[in-house]
Structure 1
Amino acid sequence: MTVRSAWHLPNGQTREDTRLAVGLAMASTGPLLARAGCVIGGLRLSGTAATSMQARLSPGQVWVPGTSTATQGGYPVTVDADTLLTFVDGDAALPRVDAVVVRVHDTDYDGSGRYEATLEVLAGAPAAPPAPPAVPENAELLYEVTVPAGASAANGIIWASAITDRRRYTAALGGIVPAGGARDDGAHVGQYRDVNGRLERWDGAAWRQYIPDAVLRYSFNYGYTTSTTFVETLTGGPDTPLTARFVAPARGWVHVTVGALTAVEGSNVATMSFRVRQESTGTEILPPVQERSAQFSGNGRASICTMYPVGGLTPGVVYTATAVHQSSAAGVKAEFDNRFVRVDPVA
């Protein structure tokens, strides 16, 4: 059949029809495949003692994709009570890495003669360094556990350092997916996930912060220049050049702000601006000019500041914004103190 519907026909709805229908409400990784993963908060693994060969898995739920065929559909699996898992003794000479998985056995696809879901500990091969075993079809990886050489009930696994959490998480269709797991690639360009309270967006190759952090570089040290061309380095103080390193956001636009407490002799002018470069190549993207500068002239001291939008940046690429300084007259000190460079991403 090329077109299926569920809870529609008066008879003949198959288990496969039902699994495919349920998967329609889940975040997807393909036209007919729902994203595998756990419900947040469950299926936590912890050792039963500081050193032992048993661990306890807490209750939880997980969606296990059927990967034997394209139309198999997925399986919602629930672990409804604490479950003890026993790891076999370690090799006499070499460590190994075991995998804890939730696995679905469905004889319609695997010929196992079984219709059940199981928790399994898959033992890896002893080696130096060890590698985890491959995850079988119709299974979802939860944890990897390092079993040291010689481990046994009398001298067990050091649980505080042995467990590597490989759980990934799923959500309803269109939902924001919690981050987690080593295989946590995005399903499509424009998918979002939550990482410690910050949104990341899948760009087809990597997760990028949707709105990268604002970046601030600050120096309270005094310095001056007598140059009539823009210079990054000041005389008389450290922290020069003063450079803010930032990642271009998804829209490719940022606001760059520079400022300082300034002074200059007579009727001359102290000027502060900035230049933007691509970090990896050193290519200047935006040169400093008078039209993008902050200026002071006159007696005494004054705080100056300017902000300018910078666009056309490549999302995910690292750039730098560096403060530059200038005096209007050769040999006349243009003085700068309490300088800063700030870069704010534009959402």
Structure 2
Amino acid sequence: MPADPLFINASSGAPSYTSAELRRGLGVLVSQAGTADRFGARSGVHPSGSAALTLSGFTLTVQHIQAVVYPAASATQGPYLVQLPAHTYTVPAASAQPRKDIVVMRVRDNDEDGSGERDADSVYLTGTAAPSPVEPSVPAGMFRMGTIDVPATGGGNPTLTFNSPYTVALGGILPVRVAGELPTTGLHEGSYADRWDNDTLYRWTGSAWQAVASNAAYNAAFEPDALGYAGTGTNVTGVTSTTFEPGTSFGTSFVAPASGSVLITFGGLVRITATTDETVLLGMQVRTGGTVGSGTVFSAASDVDTVRHRKSTTASNSIGETQASYQTRVTGLTAGSTYNVQLLHRVTGGTGTISNRRVSIQRWN
């Protein structure tokens, strides 16, 4: 049967529009995410930079709201575009046990639901006080805008959680708070959603949500390569320990990149000063925390990762020095956590000297 297209002139009589025809026609402009009905729409409030609900003491304010409500009393009911001026509720007094209340949005339309009413409004629903209270169920055809946790008498003021779904125009990027809010019906391939808990943009492939961009990935791509550096010309003399010792707490701290991997370059001037001395070694260790030498050892020094000056077997050239550096890759770091690199030293025998120490940390993908 033919239908009346919206906004067409009539010299007299037809076309005449029913409210359902207008709702269904205008419904093409709003998102259907979350509903399988072809004439349906996603219920929720319009995203805004300001809070839709606020709570001060025991006064709950529902701010000016633009919303879409789809009661789904029938598959052809169509969505309602709602504007609701600001109004307030007084949160009912606390009792001997805590309580959970909710605020919901509803539309009543006698033509569709037989309610005898034609209006849109918010509704405050009081829960039942209990040791572990449960919030009331959301009535059919409505959507929850917020949860109010009311502590037992003497427990302070109630607290508000704004947990309303959001809705946008058709083709708009849908804001969701967590993965569980990502809809799986009423979507077309190429629908987009922005998850707030992990700052990630998702695209609907036709069968699943796929991450396409994230703040973490952006930061990883553009974070600086150089993460830390320290250098000093101070000599460490009289090195006699045959096990690694830090001497002075020389090194630097750094924040682990998104990859969890870094390239550490360290070096110095290692020196043998007597024919009786043997090998002088300069090593390093990675520890947790931002204070050099503190925290738990993450990566310990070994003779594999060392700068060294080895004694010659010929007495005439057994005294000398080596200016050198060594690079090592450290993996498995926790992205965003702070670590520190501390230089250490030891000898295999006799006495040694170390100077011109330096260490640098670079991002490694």
- TM-score after normalising by structure 2: 0.55
- What residue is the counterpart of 2:84 in the other structure? 79
Q: Which amino acid aligns with 1:88?
A: P
Q: CA separation of 1:179/1:85 partners in 2, compared to 1, >3 Å: closer, same or farther?
A: same
Note if contact 1:90-1:96 (Cα within 8 Å) is conserved in structure 2: yes
- What residue is the counterpart of 1:132 in the other structure? 135
Q: Which amino acid aligns with 1:169?
A: Y
1:162 aligns with 2:183: no
Cα distance between partner residues in 2 of 1:43 and 1:122: 17
- What residue is the counterpart of 1:192 in the other structure? 193
Note if contact 2:200-2:211 (Cα within 8 Å) is conserved in structure 1: no
Q: CA deviation at 1:74?
A: 1.6
Q: CA separation of 1:147/1:256 partners in 2, compared to 1, >3 Å: closer, same or farther?
A: closer
Note if contact 1:42-1:59 (Cα within 8 Å) is conserved in structure 2: no
Q: Identity, % of aligned pairs? A: 21
Q: CA separation of 1:194/1:183 partners in 2, compared to 1, >3 Å: closer, same or farther?
A: closer
Note if contact 2:195-2:202 (Cα within 8 Å) is conserved in structure 1: no
Q: Which amino acid aligns with 1:176?
A: I
**How well do the aligned residues superpose, as a CA RMSD in angstroms?**
5.4
- What residue is the counterpart of 1:278 in the other structure? none
**From 15, 25, 36, the counterpart of 2:19:** 15
Q: Which amino acid aligns with 2:133?
A: P
Note if contact 1:147-1:162 (Cα within 8 Å) is conserved in structure 2: yes
Cα distance between partner residues in 2 of 1:36 and 1:11: 29
Q: CA deviation at 1:116?
A: 0.9
- What residue is the counterpart of 2:263 in the other structure? 258
- What residue is the counterpart of 1:102 in the other structure? 105
- What residue is the counterpart of 2:359 in the other structure? 338
Cα distance between partner residues in 2 of 1:336 and 1:74: 71
Cα distance between partner residues in 2 of 1:115 and 1:342: 63
Q: CA separation of 1:256/1:79 partners in 2, compared to 1, >3 Å: closer, same or farther?
A: same
Q: CA separation of 1:126/1:207 partners in 2, compared to 1, >3 Å: closer, same or farther?
A: farther
Cα distance between partner residues in 1 of 2:100 and 2:181: 20
Q: CA deviation at 1:43?
A: 2.6
After superposition, the C-alpha distances for 1:55-104 in whole angstroms (9 at most, x for unaligned) are 22222212222333333222111122x3121333444x322111011111
- TM-score after normalising by structure 1: 0.57
- What residue is the counterpart of 1:284 in the other structure? none
**From 34, 38, 42, the counterpart of 2:45:** 38
Q: CA deviation at 1:25?
A: 1.7
- What residue is the counterpart of 2:67 in the other structure? 62
Note if contact 2:230-2:360 (Cα within 8 Å) is conserved in structure 1: yes
Show structure 1 runs of 5+ residues with no match.
152-156, 223-233, 247-253, 271-298, 307-317, 321-330
- What residue is the counterpart of 1:24 in the other structure? 28
Q: CA separation of 1:199/1:125 partners in 2, compared to 1, >3 Å: closer, same or farther?
A: same
Q: Which amino acid aligns with 1:46?
A: L
- What residue is the counterpart of 1:312 in the other structure? none
3-state SS, counterpart of residue 130 of structure 2:
coil
Q: CA separation of 1:243/1:255 partners in 2, compared to 1, >3 Å: closer, same or farther?
A: closer
After superposition, the C-alpha distances for 1:199-229 in whole angstroms (9 at most, x for unaligned) are 432674697863524278768699xxxxxxx
1:300 aligns with 2:297: no
3-state SS, counterpart of residue 112 of structure 2:
helix
3-state SS, counterpart of residue 163 of structure 1:
strand
Note if contact 2:261-2:364 (Cα within 8 Å) is conserved in structure 1: yes
Q: Which amino acid aligns with 2:53?
A: R
1:210 aligns with 2:233: no
Q: Which amino acid aligns with 1:21?
A: G
Q: Which amino acid aligns with 2:76?
A: T
3-state SS, counterpart of residue 24 of structure 1:
helix
Question: How many aligned residue pairs are there?
Answer: 276
Q: CA separation of 1:259/1:113 partners in 2, compared to 1, >3 Å: closer, same or farther?
A: same
Show structure 2 runs of 5+ residues with no match.
9-13, 233-243, 272-281, 283-321, 337-347, 349-355
Cα distance between partner residues in 1 of 2:105 and 2:29: 21
Note if contact 1:169-1:180 (Cα within 8 Å) is conserved in structure 2: no
Q: CA deviation at 1:172?
A: 1.9
Cα distance between partner residues in 1 of 2:114 and 2:178: 30
- What residue is the counterpart of 1:111 in the other structure? 114
Cα distance between partner residues in 1 of 2:124 and 2:112: 22
